[in-house]
Amino acid sequence: MELKVILILILAAIVSVAIGLVTNVVSSFIPIPQSTKQKILWILALIALAPLSALIALLLQAPIPDALAEACKGISTSDSNFSTGEKLLIPQKENARLYERKIYANNGRITGDSVLLAAVVPADENARPEAAGAILAGVADAQEQFNQRREDPTSSDTAKPLRVLVVNDSNTVEGAKQVACQIARDYKDVVGIIGHHSSDASKAAVDIYNKAGLAMITPTSTSTSLNQSTVGKVFFRSTYSSRELADVLAKHIEGLNVGKIAIFYDEGEYSTNIRGDFIKSLKDKNIIHPIPFDNLQPVNYSEKSVPKSLPAEVKSVIFFSSGGRRGTNERAIRIIEYLKDSGRDLKIFGGNALYEGETLAKGKKKIENLVLVVPWFGFPKYAYRETTFDGKEGGQIGWRTANSFDATRAFLRAISLIARNSETVNRQTILEKLPSVNLPANATSGEPLRFEAGQRQGGEPVLVQVVPKSNQVSCGFEVCFQPLQR
């Protein structure tokens, strides 16, 4: 409609100028009294009015291309990836189903009006069902506490309870676009998105949400290419960016005698992004060794041959692998095992994608001393490390659970602010209120939270190390993550 109004104003201006020019030209050749000139102007205006009115009517009726419709053109939809409790999306064999059930139980207790958020996760068997469960655990905790007005500083007596729509995007670009289009067009009651999980999926979906004016807070996508200046004002994140993670790791490494560093990575958005950010963060770029097999995607080299192929001057190795369908986390763990078996004295580091129970379960003692840079660790001072719901990864609440809890709490604070002002909770008001959200530490997973241009402010990434399980360090595996003593 804005384009139509602009066109109408331009046409009206052109007609007005044309009438004036015609009258002035005629009066320059034929002396016309002022009163007669005014009459001529009125006559010309009336003559122009009829076609102008017809043109305006045509413009108002003419369809202006719908940006959302154009973006979603040709994308198929399916209700099989959506549920508020009608069905379970996480496969039956997964323990993560417990977390999905908790959300549906919370939904089932709501008897009146509610506010609807969508939690978009990689739920299916070929995606990341364990990550989906970890994210839903944090959402479920925040939802339950808000609805019961319990242990929740964000709650308001005037705010409606929260209902959650669980959505599966299969952790793929195609799946993310499909569900984003369906939410934006068909689920008009959804006022905000918690998700997506991978940076690739978030990048694919955010353009759709931007055209729909629908705010998203990703709890897990760290790519620095995702920011409001490039993808729009609808983008927020409750985790730290890969640049912030890379900065902390680079500062730590520069304080050590690491020799030359070999970096293993894959072609995913997260992996290539954090690798680039890490290199930018290093003061001495010369410590990076340009190895020819630095890509974790399947290529023509043997994993077992990596230790012998590493040049002697390489004293440190970094793995910026990705989880999910790319499966490079598993390959990274296998290469670490071969490096340990080789007897080479190497310092080994990694990114936050390896910060999960699967790494401990598969790597066991072979990955002892591995140092990771991660967005969150459950320090004893954090009340949320002992969640009211069993949202744990290997006995320790994971970063995905913590950050999804924070994302949900941010939306709930915005909802409460809107309710207190007696405004309507919708996509527009949510988007207007999110930038002013400012949560203290007792309202989050442990650190204060506010947004600056959509980026999380408050706290900083943490370095953790894999250590043997002991009386002092407990988890569900032979080895555990512990904060690195710095």
pLDDT, tens digit (0-9, with 9 covering 90-100), for 2-54:
555 555 555 555 655 555 555 555 555 555 555 655 655 555 555 555 555 55
What is the model's pTM?
A: 0.83
Nearest alpha carbon to residue 371 among 240, 484, 239: 484
CATH number for 243-374+462-483 (one of 3.50.50.60, 3.60.15.10, 3.40.50.10860, 3.40.50.2300): it is 3.40.50.2300
The tokens 């709501």 sit on which residue? 110
- What's the token pair of residue 372? 């990771």
Once rounded to an integer, what is the mean pLDDT over residues 98-115?
Answer: 94
pLDDT for 100 equals 94
pLDDT for 77 equals 82
How many other C-beta atoms are found inside a 10 Å radius of the C-beta of residue 351? 27
pLDDT digits (tens, 9 = 90+) for 128-169: 888 999 999 999 999 999 998 866 676 777 789 999 999 999
pLDDT digits (tens, 9 = 90+) for 47-99: 555 555 555 555 555 444 588 888 898 888 889 999 999 999 998 877 788 88
3-state secondary structure 313-331: CEEEEEEECCCHHHCHHHH
DSSP tally for the chain: helices H, then strands E: 15, 15
Separation of CA 114 from chain center = 24
pLDDT for 430 equals 97
Nearest alpha carbon to residue 39 among 26, 50, 28: 26
Question: How is residue 226 annotated by DSSP?
Answer: -
Is the bond preceding residue 196 a cis peptide, omega within 30 degrees? yes
Q: H or E segment at 349?
A: strand 347-350
pLDDT for 12 equals 57
pLDDT digits (tens, 9 = 90+) for 351-398: 999 998 889 999 999 999 999 999 999 888 887 766 554 444 444 578
Judge whether residue 436 has pLDDT over 50.
yes
Largest distance between two CA atoms of the chain: 108
Q: What CATH class does 79-239+382-453 carry?
A: alpha beta
pLDDT for 150 equals 65
Whole-angstrom distance, CA of residue 246 vs CA of residue 101: 36
Judge whether residue 348 has pLDDT over 50.
yes
pLDDT for 426 equals 97
Judge whether residue 468 has pLDDT over 90.
yes
pLDDT for 431 equals 97
pLDDT for 285 equals 78
Q: Which residue has the higher pLDDT, 156 or 450?
A: 450
How many other C-beta atoms are found inside a 10 Å radius of the C-beta of residue 196? 30
pLDDT digits (tens, 9 = 90+) for 188-233: 999 999 999 999 999 999 999 999 999 999 999 999 999 999 999 9
pLDDT for 177 equals 96
Q: In percent, how much of the chain has pLDDT > 70?
A: 79
Nearest alpha carbon to residue 377 among 398, 405, 348: 398
- Identical fold for domains 79-239+382-453 and 243-374+462-483, yes or no, is yes
Categorise residue 28: left if φ over 0, alpha if ψ from -120 to 50, beta otherwise. alpha
The tokens 């959509």 sit on which residue? 454
What string of DSSP letters covers 399-420?
Answer: HHHHHHHHHHHHHHHHHHHHHH
Q: H or E segment at 449?
A: strand 449-452
Question: Mean pLDDT over all residues of the chain?
Answer: 84
The tokens 């020019």 sit on which residue? 21
Please report, for the chain, the start and end positions of each structural domain, with discontinuous segments joined by +.
Answer: 2-64, 79-239+382-453, 243-374+462-483
Whole-angstrom distance, CA of residue 452 vs CA of residue 409: 17
